[in-house]
Amino acid sequence: MKIIVLGAGALGAYFGARWQESGHEVINLVREGRAEQMKNNGLKLHSEMGDYEVAKPVIARSPEEIDNPDLVFLAVKGYHLHGTLDWLKSLVNKGAKVYPVLNGMEHIHILQKELGEEAVIGGHAYIIATLDEKGHVVHTSPFHDLVFGPLHSSQQAICEELALACNQANLTGILSPNVLEAMWNKYMFITAFSGITTATNQPIGMVRRYSQTFKIAERILKEMKKLANAHQINLTDEHVNKAFERLRDLAPDMTSSMHQDRRKGLPLEVEHLHGGALRLGNQVNLRMPYIETIHAMIKPYEKFQH
Ligand SMILES: NC(=O)C1=CN([C@@H]2O[C@H](COP(=O)(O)OP(=O)(O)OC[C@H]3O[C@@H](n4cnc5c(N)ncnc54)[C@H](OP(=O)(O)O)[C@@H]3O)[C@@H](O)[C@H]2O)C=CC1
Ligand SMILES: CC(C)(CO)C(=O)C(=O)O
């Protein structure tokens, strides 16, 4: 497959390198700073699942340099989504489908509106990865999963092709028969996990030590289930229980990418995740006091001007 990575940060560079390692054509479509960094330092994966080095990553600075793209792997932060729309339109006009792996849900509606429903595949990622000072990827989780599936009947073939490409690569690819539900399930989990770890500025082990604190994570899961149900997504109590069990079973030092960003003083996706949930709640007249509170507590650390 010819895969364009738009957002060649921790996630984009990681999965792009894995596809490249298995023989697929991967182009990193990047802005100036990242282009320089990749040219100067190459791209290395320091990974629990096996190190890998792309000595000369293929870089493009504009979609005009790219012919016949099959897929755009979109891995920017939520607050950078709008800045990618022109390049995405150009790649979609050249025949590409877009596979976004951003946490959250609001980006799907924005992308479908801007690019057309046929262009946007559903999905998300499970991985813990970050960039070091050289722009190399540090992958610290024993999982590196990609979930994807059609949001439009015309996308079955490209999803099957992607499943094959994932099978050939050193990563786990899951073609979901109900990708919308899978996305909402992850959205429910991440809203609670990133919310409680970022607001308390503590990893999950410390959160669990205080039952009063950990209870709030469960309340957020329950509010997210109600929100999903109000949007006709069939998340059940079992989904909530499983998500809560996962929070109970995580290694004590584990934390969310949002909390890692708070520690590094980087901008936070709070508006995309928690703010997005509140806006989706407003659409269906659903009040979610726990999410409203956690959103308000994290907001001062957002560091991004909207
Ligand atoms: N990291 C993780 O472990 C996980 C992250 N996620 C989600 O994945 C998404 C991406 O996260 P992550 O990889 O950590 O983010 P990073 O900040 O590491 O990477 C984002 C990249 O996007 C690039 N970018 C931003 N705007 C543009 C643009 N207009 N054109 C080209 N490149 C652009 C940035 O480059 P530049 O240097 O130019 O700013 C940066 O390299 C987020 O939604 C996150 O929540 C999900 C699961 C786990
Ligand atoms: C929960 C996790 C680590 C799974 O990918 C994640 O998505 C995040 O912290 O952003």
Ligand 1 atom with the smallest distance to the CA of 126 is 47
Is residue 34 assigned to a domain? yes
Contact 139, 45 (CB under 8 A): yes
pLDDT at 305: 65
Using the 3D structure, point to which of 158, 176, 194 is the last residue of a domain.
176
Question: How many A from CA of 14 to the centre of ligand 1?
Answer: 11
Closest ligand 1 atom number to CA of residue 124:
46
Q: How far is the CA of 65 from the centre of ligand 2 (A)?
A: 33
**Predicted pLDDT at 306:** 65
Q: Do residues 78 and 199 share a domain? A: no
Q: Which ligand is nearest to the CA of 104?
A: 1
Pocket test for ligand 2, best of 126, 144, 266 (most atoms within 8 A of CB): 126
50, 67: one domain: yes
The CATH number covering residue 204 comes to 1.10.1040.10
- One domain for residues 77 and 156: yes
User: Does some domain include residue 306?
Assistant: no
Regions of the chain with pLDDT less than 50: none
Q: Which atom of ligand 1 is nearest to the CA of 102?
A: 43
Q: Is the same domain home to 154 and 197? A: no
DSSP secondary structure letter of residue 170: S
Distance CA(138)–CA(197), nearest Å, equals 21
Question: Is residue 21 within 8 Å of residue 169, measured between CB atoms?
Answer: yes
Within this chain, do residues 122 and 154 fall inside the same structural domain, yes or no? Answer: yes
What confidence score (pLDDT) does residue 102 get?
Answer: 97
The pLDDT, as a whole number, for residue 55 is 83
Indicate if ligand 1 lies below 6 Å from the C-beta of 258: no
The span from the CA of 47 to the CA of 84, in Å, is: 28
Structural domain count of the chain:
2
What pTM was estimated for this model as a whole?
Answer: 0.97
Ligand nearest to the backbone CA of 197: 2
Domain hosting 42: range is 2-176
Verify that 172 and 220 share a domain, yes or no.
no
Q: Is there a contact between 44 and 83 (Cβ–Cβ < 8 Å)?
A: no
How far does residue 33's CA lie from ligand 1's centre (Å)? 14
Whether 164 is covered by a domain: the verdict is yes
Say which ligand is closest to the CA of 193: 2
> Would you state the pLDDT for residue 105?
96
Q: Is the CB of 190 under 6 A from ligand 1?
A: no
84 lines ligand 1 (CB under 6 A): yes
- Ligand 1 within 6 A of CB of 9: yes
How many angstroms separate the alpha carbon of residue 197 from the centre of ligand 2? 12
Same-domain check for residues 200 and 284:
yes
163-188 pLDDT per residue, tens: 999 999 999 999 999 999 999 999 99
Residues 13 and 126 in one domain: yes
Q: Measured between alpha carbons, how far is 108 from 7 in angstroms, rounded to an integer?
A: 16
232 and 128 in one domain?
Answer: no
Phi, psi of 187 (to 5 degrees): -60, -40
Radius of gyration of the chain (CA): 19
In 3D, which of 125, 142, 240 has the Cα closest to residue 185? Answer: 240
Q: Which ligand is nearest to the CA of 191?
A: 2
Q: What is the CATH number of the domain that holds 100?
A: 3.40.50.720
Q: What is the CA 270 to chain-centroid distance, rounded?
A: 13
- Whether residue 11 lies inside any domain: the answer is yes
For residues 229 and 143, membership in a common domain is answered with no
Statement to judge: residues 126 and 207 lie in one domain = no
* Last residue within a domain, chosen from 145, 176, 207: 176
Is position 153 within any domain? yes
pLDDT digits (tens, 9 = 90+) for 292-304: 999 999 999 998 7
Distance 211 CA to ligand 1 centre (A): 33
Show the ligand 2 pocket: residues with CB < 6 angstroms: 103, 125-128, 190, 193-194, 256-257
Q: Are residues 166 and 90 part of one domain? A: yes
Residue owning the nearest CA to atom 1 of ligand 1 = 129
Query: Which of 77, 88, 250, 304 should be mutated for ligand 1, with most atoms under 8 A from CB?
Result: 77
Task: Tell me which of 27, 28, 37, 76 to substitute to probe ligand 1's pocket, judged by most ligand atoms within 8 Å of the beta carbon.
Answer: 76
Q: Is the ipTM of this complex over 0.90?
A: yes
